[in-house]
Amino acid sequence: MPRGQTILLVISGGIAAYKSLDLIRRLRERGYAVRAVMTRAAEEFVTPLAVGALTGGKVHTDLFSRDDEFDIGHIRMAREPDLIVIAPATADLLARMAGGHADDLASTILLATDRPVLVAPAMNPRMWAHPATRRNVARLADDGIRFVGPNAGEMAEGGEAGLGRMAEPLEIVAAAEAILKPGARPLAGHHVLVTSGPTHEPIDPVRYIANRSSGKQGHAIAAAAARAGARVTLVSGPVAIPDPPGVTTVHVETARQMLEAVEAALPADIAIMAAAVADWRAAEELDAKLKKDGTGAVAPLPLVQNPDILATLGRHHTLRPDLVIGFAAETNDLKAHAEAKLRSKGADWILANDVSPETGVMGGDDNTIHLVTTSGVEPWPKMTKTEVAARLVERIADRLGKSGSGA
């Protein structure tokens, strides 16, 4: 436990400020002392009282506080912590940091500090993509500022979606610990192989068989494994989300291409098969578009089974990974199907989830997992897919730590 290390949390104004409360709790669970500074805009979203109740100390808000500044408090706050975390970091605060402004307590501390700074941006996707923000981020990165996120997903504004959501608290914690404990990345030295997204199985030149998988869960797992120090190979079907940073991504279309890419990526220490691979494909891909004949007859579309990638890895004779993890996306009898899949595929763990339409899991941002192993079934609470990824990596690291290897 990292006793004695202090993190100064700067909370700026944005709806994501509510996540800072959970971030404080997560940091304190791991033994860090947390001090907090809030901008005036942040107080419109969360109160200093709530933040102070979780940090267990005074929340600082005013550059000209008579109580704090009698001993030049902003300099003291800039130099005392082991790490400064800004979560959320708005476009405005990033711009002021890049420009070297010092017109409130937060920006003054950030200009005066000689400590590492970790930034978790949060803003509308168009603001994040704006050339001015891109310039500011590049300037700050050149100055040595570290970034975690932002993530893709739904925005607070109705109908808005894209890259701009603040990283989840567990992601920020992992990024902070990678700075504070650079030698303690639990998956360092391990090769992690992840599959993600759907596969598209062509019927004719314009149609294909597919499913509603977005790839959000698999991509989040790949990103979490990379943050934990692993060398990560991600084999992704067709998705509309960006490749995770720090990950080698191989793009494929079909199940057979995915299997080929997975086998080419071996050997791996850990395999996490999160892709929603199509079970079936057309027996023959037609050269011309399949046409209606006007009779109302059933279309002649014979199907054949696709290769089983999870079973291929789970029962690989020469290059089986030490830990093979699969997903069971079910619409009924969740636990029974997952337990059967664990046995039949030769997997070590199965992460089972209910993907019935009413759950919103397929394509959504949240997931509810049951971890199925030979020891039993462990239900996890509903979490974001990023939080699921972080928890899974923690469980993998725990297993590696107990066994001394990936077995």
Which residues are catalytically annotated?
A: 211
Rounded CA-CA distance 384/121 in Å is 18
Query: Does the annotation list 300 as a binding residue?
Result: no
What kind and span of H or E run contains 137? helix 131-142
Measure CA 169 to chain center: 10
Query: Does the annotation list 323 as a binding residue?
Result: no
Rg of the chain, C-alpha, whole Å = 24
Phi, psi of 385 (to 5 degrees): -65, -30
Amino acid at the residue 378: E
User: By C-alpha distance, which of 118, 116, 82 is closest to 7?
Assistant: 82
Alpha-helix residue ranges (DSSP H) falling in 91-184 = 91-99, 105-112, 125-129, 131-142, 169-180
Rounded CA-CA distance 213/274 in Å is 10
User: By C-alpha distance, which of 37, 49, 30, 45 is closest to 10?
Assistant: 37
Query: Does the annotation list 86 as a binding residue?
Result: no
Query: Does the annotation list 303 as a binding residue?
Result: no
Strands 349-354 and 323-330: parallel
Rounded CA-CA distance 48/45 in Å is 10
Query: Does the annotation list 181 as a binding residue?
Result: no
Query: Does the annotation list 279 as a binding residue?
Result: yes
Rounded CA-CA distance 167/164 in Å is 9
Query: Does the annotation list 70 as a binding residue?
Result: no
Handedness of CA 231, 237, 238, 239 (dihedral sign): negative
Query: Does the annotation list 307 as a binding residue?
Result: yes
Query: Does the annotation list 19 as a binding residue?
Result: no
Phi, psi of 122 (to 5 degrees): -155, 120
Amino acid at the residue 345: K
Output the known binding site for CTP: 279, 289, 307-310, 327, 341, 345
Output the known binding site: 279, 289, 307-310, 327, 341, 345
